[in-house]
Amino acid sequence: MKEDHLALNTILYCGRWEETLRFYRKLLDHPGDWLAEWFVEFSISETARLSVADESRASIQSAGGKGLTLSIRVRNIDREWARMQEAGLVPGAIRRHPWGAKVFYLYDPEENRIEIWTPG
């Protein structure tokens, strides 16, 4: 990849946009950085963004959760699991992968899988 590629933005097109937007605001504990009537962008880090777009206002439709996992590395998985549960989300149990990482999963209203993990 060329060095001039400095940032990555993943855009989720959503049929259940309002519900999905509320979900990501809880998941990321953030209202969003760039807001429009049908598109919200969240800064994940200096070089990573996640956007949620209303498919009824876009030329691309929702993938319906097929073939997508958002993988988010965190520092303290126990704290993140508790925060998400307190926010009304439904995180799965924390488990250990064979390669040592601790991980749990949850799904957004569009059926996209979200993997929250930390190194062993």
For 2-55, how does the pLDDT look when each residue is reduced to its tens digit (9 = 90+)? 566 678 899 999 999 999 999 999 999 999 998 899 999 999 988 999 999 999
Report the candidate in 78, 75, 108 with the shortest Cα–Cα distance to residue 93: 78
Residue 2, pLDDT score: 54
Report the predicted TM-score, pTM, of the whole model to 2 decimal places: 0.89
Calculate the alpha carbon distances from 114 to 20, 65, 109 in Å. 13, 10, 11
For 55-108, how does the pLDDT look when each residue is reduced to its tens digit (9 = 90+)? 999 999 999 889 899 999 999 999 999 999 999 999 999 999 888 999 999 999
Query: If you count them, how many residues does the chain have?
Result: 120
Ordered by start, the domain boundaries in the chain are 8-118
Residue 1, pLDDT score: 47
CATH of domain 8-118: 3.10.180.10
Three state DSSP letters for 65-81? CCCCEEEEECCCHHHHH
